[in-house]
Amino acid sequence: MAAPVFPTYVAPVHARHGSYSPRYGWLLKTHLAVLDNPHVFATPRAIVELGAGKSAVASMRFWSSAFKLTAEIPHLPGTANDVVPTAKGRWLLDEDGADPYLEQDGSLFLLHWWLLAPPCLVPAWYYAFCLSPFGRLKPDLLTAGMLRAAAGANWKRQPTAATLHRDIGCMIRMYTRSAHDQPRVTLEDLADRPFSALGMMSADPDGTVHLSHMAGARAPTAVVAYACLEYASRSAPGPGSISLDRLLSDPAGPGHVLRLTPRALRRALQAASAQHPELSVTNTGDGTEALTFNRPPLALAWDVLDESYGSVRQRLGVRPEQDATEARSPDRPPVEQLAFDAPAPKSSR
């Protein structure tokens, strides 16, 4: 069996997070700052505007871009990029947006999906959720697997084991709780590691990470349906169907990324179909099940998602389905999503 290889839409971007996983409030702070001033990251006032140190500010900028909530707008060589909100960012984080304070777990599942969607700026995350064949992940084995996947991708600059180890450490910190013996997520976890609430990963004291195979059972119906339709749109932009087997087994599909069991996926899609007649779960002639949609899947995906959040698009006048990050081919990551003015911070936590 051939070793897994990173697809072309996974960018060779490493350690831009500066070893900071996203904290509660960071995405909203960044959104408000760039909404007010697209040049904020080019000014010394960035640390004041964002209320964080220099390394943390660079991390906030990276995470906002990685989640597709901001876009980097390059200018002439030697001049600083502007940073502007995407339509997705406005839809989610505007004052009257879907969930600016990320109070709903569904919003975290949605951000997790966007993080791994094309163009993906977090190879370690992509490898762990989409390419690794194991449910028990040891950092050393993850590093070795990522080095092989990167070599097969023919990246011009190959990452070092030390760099990948920092990426993996940041990922584990992002999704796991602060104390291994805590039975529930604490207030400290919610502030420092909001994504630990998803239950995607747990860690043993020896560093072994357990990747959940059923965390997605808690994902809201609308988020699951959105992810399935958005994924289908990458290969079939018009009306059609996609098998549930593909949704579950494709490396970058909702089954892997959202950690869905067959039962959880089927239940969510059947519930979504009951509310949206343009969708249906059907049995095909060969006995398999498929999600069928009679409208372009990306437009339908946003209709389903937006309705579940109270019709934000109409309220704000934004069209996130037309975002450049979704309108471009997955095989051609936009330069503005990959370019940053500053080198990757060398600090660690």
Q: Is the pLDDT of residue 105 over 70?
A: yes
Please name every residue paired with 202 in a beta bridge, in sequence order, or none if there are none: 210
Q: What is the mean pLDDT of residues 255-260?
A: 97
Mean pLDDT of the chain: 88
Whether residue 339 is predicted with pLDDT greater than 70 in this model: the reply is no
Determine if residue 102 is left, alpha or beta; phi over 0 gives left, psi from -120 to 50 gives alpha, anything else beta.
Answer: left
- Torsions phi, psi for 28 (to 5 deg): -70, -45
Among residues 276, 311, 309, the alpha carbon closest in space to that of 292 is found at 276
What digits encode the pLDDT tens for the residues 20-79?
Answer: 999 999 999 999 999 999 999 988 888 988 888 888 999 999 999 999 999 999 877 777
Measured N-to-C along each axis, helices 161-175 and 139-153 cross at an angle, to the nearest 10 degrees, of 120
The whole-angstrom separation of Cα 18 and Cα 60 is 10
Distance in angstroms (rounded) separating the CA atoms of residues 179 and 131: 27
Position 190 scores a pLDDT of 61
Rounded mean pLDDT, 202-210:
85
The Cα–Cα gap between 70 and 267 comes to 33
- In percent, the amount of the chain with pLDDT more than 70 equals 88
The whole-angstrom distance between residue 303's C-alpha and the CA centroid of its chain comes to 20
| pLDDT surpassing 80 at residue 187 | no
- Give CA–CA dist 202/177, Å, rounded: 7
Q: Are 233 and 278 in contact (CB under 8 A)?
A: no
So what's the pLDDT on residue 45? 83
- Measured from the Cβ of residue 317, the count of other Cβ atoms closer than 10 Å reads 8
| pLDDT single digits (tens) 128-176 | 999 998 788 888 888 999 999 999 998 988 999 999 999 999 999 999 9
Write down the pLDDT at residue 189: 56
